[in-house]
A and B are shown apart, each in its own frame.
Chain A
Amino acid sequence: MKIFFIILIYCFSLNFEAKLKIEIIKGSEQLPNIAIVPFKSNLGRKFEYDVRNQINEKLTLFGEFNSLRLDQMLSFPYNEDSFYRRDWELLSMDYVVFGEVYEEAENLVIYYSVADIALKRIILRGDIIGDKENIKLITKKISDRVYESMTGLKGVFNTKLAYILNPEPNKYSICISDIDGDNENILFSSNSPLMSPDWSPDGNKLAYVSFEKGFAEIFIQNLLTGDRETIPTLGMSKSAPVWSPDSKNLAFVISMSGNPDIYNYNLKTKKISRLTSHYGIDTEPAWSPDGKRLLFTSNRSGSPQIFEIKISNKRIKRVTLEGSYNARSRFFPDGKNIVFVHGNNGFFHIATRNLKDRFINIITKTTLDESPTISPNGHIIIYSTKKENQGYLAGITIDKKSKFQLPVKRGSVREPAWSPFLN
């Protein structure tokens, strides 16, 4: 059902082209070699190639694999009987994807297999039935399964990205698109700034900050109905909303007279409780995957650093020690590693760190990097950066083997927020 939720609320379309298309800027030489063979079909060549090309498009989206060109293939297997491993050993392939597509009572039925050449066996056999009009969704699901069989990680091809688009001064939009850039739609537009989009982990809501009332206010927008609600407090600057892992609470910041602290809002009981109280700046909360702790940024020690608070006893400990600027952290899904913005001599990079050791792993080279968001499988980071006075999004896999960017034709784009897995 969630597939359709975006469509319902998008009653107006974009009047400016901003489509984010991922461009691979660096693929490592040690990427796995894969071959995706055209699928055999009784529906004609178009289907054979459409299914193959769409799976190929997804699997190579983030530059994680070298995909063999069709004209280099020595054979075109479609089942295990027609598959000859030596054809692919000769081409130094690591994995081969092949299968068949049929029509059955208005539906498409697709059988697919993945061969691991080094292991000398078929590592995945799957079949899927779906609406003929929705090949895109079907191939996304196949790609997710194939990706998982090859990497051990769940695929993220059926996820979305929210981001802030600033096509011209004083025009701001929150957009949501498929992770491959398709189906970009505006969730909300304003002449005042919009900030800090965050997906509820159930994929049903987006929280963000809007200045439409003349001050920073948090809105929680239902993606099914389009309804917007605010947090019931009197007018004070509210910012940095982040959903708890169970989608029942929102950690956020209230600032009273220039003194921002972290609070929690329970959406069911509407109760607001205070978590930090310090005269310095406390902001940018981030939940641990178990919902028991929050990371946050505080300048209580002088410069912005990352701290952690245990929610049960409100005990606070400092997390980052190195460097004069560490901020806007997020947990990886494993709960052990974090990503954050690390400033050093006026340069701002995206960095990761294991909470157990002190080693800061700087993973970007550009100098105005911010707002990192982690793919739900924990493998890819998308962040915002800037070039020639324009904000744009860029991405990198955690192993640094693949780098890509998502340029827009006009204006600035920033604050990416990766959706959870959507079914």
Chain B
Amino acid sequence: MKFLKALPLFLLLFLVSCSTQVSDSVSQTNYKEVEGINFDEKDKIDTSIEDKVYFDFDKSTLNDDTKKILAQYVSESEKANIIRLEGHCDERGTREYNLALGEKRAIEVKNYLIIQGVSSSKIKIISYGEEKPISFGSTESDWKQNRRVEIALF
């Protein structure tokens, strides 16, 4: 669990440097942020807070409604061991790009939660890109539901 304690530092470094630091080898890193997120859905903590926040096409920026929802998670997250953030996209555009975009969305949510005081070591992110839509149609109302980050507490 030691590496988890180092995570805030990593994140701070990331935010400050904006990733300008380049390492030419990654095999030695102990960065394990997204490793092994197979949760038992039975262990999910029920909350009354909206568990999905939504995004514009090809965007990862949080709107004011989203920020209001996320703020409610700050006190709630104290009960949880883990906060899982799942990034998703609508079907438009390409799959690998959307995988990256879904991750950007989850990261935006994560960063906002951290700024609000949530312990970064509790937060696990994963992106499914466009692979796991909620709505299978091809209209704006389907797409709107699919461009999301799902928040779950465990």
Residues of A at under 8 Å CB distance from B? 193, 195-196, 211, 213-216, 232-237, 239-240, 253-260, 263, 272-274, 277-279, 281, 283-284, 297, 299, 303-304, 325, 327-328, 341, 343, 346, 348, 368, 370-371, 386, 389, 415
Contacts and interface: CB of A to CB of B under 8 A. Distances in A.
A214 B95 contact: no
B92 A257 contact: no
A274 B24 CA distance: 5
Interface string B23-41: 1111101111111111100
Interface in B86-118: 91-97, 99-101, 103-104, 106-107
B92 A368 contact: yes
A280 to B, nearest CB: 9
Contacts of A281: 97, 100-101, 104
Contact of A257 (B10, B30, B39): B10
Interface in B106-151: 106-107, 125-129, 131-132, 136-138
B131 A273 contact: no
Contacts of A343: 92-93
Nearest to B32: A235
B18 interface: yes
A173 to B, nearest CB: 14
Given A195-B131, A235-B34, A258 B107 contact: yes
A328 B18 CA distance: 25
B96 A341 contact: no
B1 interface: no
A388 B104 CA distance: 30
In the A-B complex, list the 3 residue pairs whose CB atoms are closest, starting with the nearest: A235-B35, A258-B107, A193-B131
Specify the main secondary structure of chain B where it touches its partner.
loop
B19 interface: yes
Contact of B103 (A235, A237, A303, A348): A237
B127 A263 contact: no
A260 B103 contact: yes
Contacts, number: 154
Contact of B99 (A195, A254, A304, A371): A195
A303 B136 CA distance: 25
Contact of A237 (B19, B29, B127): B127
B94 A234 contact: no
Interface of B: 10-11, 14, 18-20, 22-27, 29-39, 57-58, 91-97, 99-101, 103-104, 106-107, 125-129, 131-132, 136-138
B33 A236 contact: yes
A239 B127 CA distance: 11
Nearest to A370: B94
A234 B32 CA distance: 7
A214 B38 contact: yes
Nearest to B137: A389
Given A258-B106, A259-B19, A281-B101, 19 more contacts: A213-B38, A214-B126, A232-B27, A235-B35, A236-B33, A239-B100, A256-B31, A258-B125, A259-B14, A277-B19, A277-B22, A278-B19, A279-B18, A283-B100, A297-B96, A304-B97, A341-B93, A346-B57, A371-B94
A299 to B, nearest CB: 8
B27 A272 contact: yes
6 contacts: A213-B36, A237-B34, A253-B96, A258-B125, A304-B58, A304-B93
Contacts of B136: 389
A254 B126 contact: no
Contacts of A234: 27, 29-32, 35
Given A237-B127, A255-B103, A274-B24, A214 B31 contact: no
Contact of B91 (A297, A328, A386): A386
A255 B35 CA distance: 12
A235 B91 contact: no
Nearest to B10: A257
Given A235-B36, A236-B33, A258-B107, A216 B11 contact: no
Nearest to A341: B94
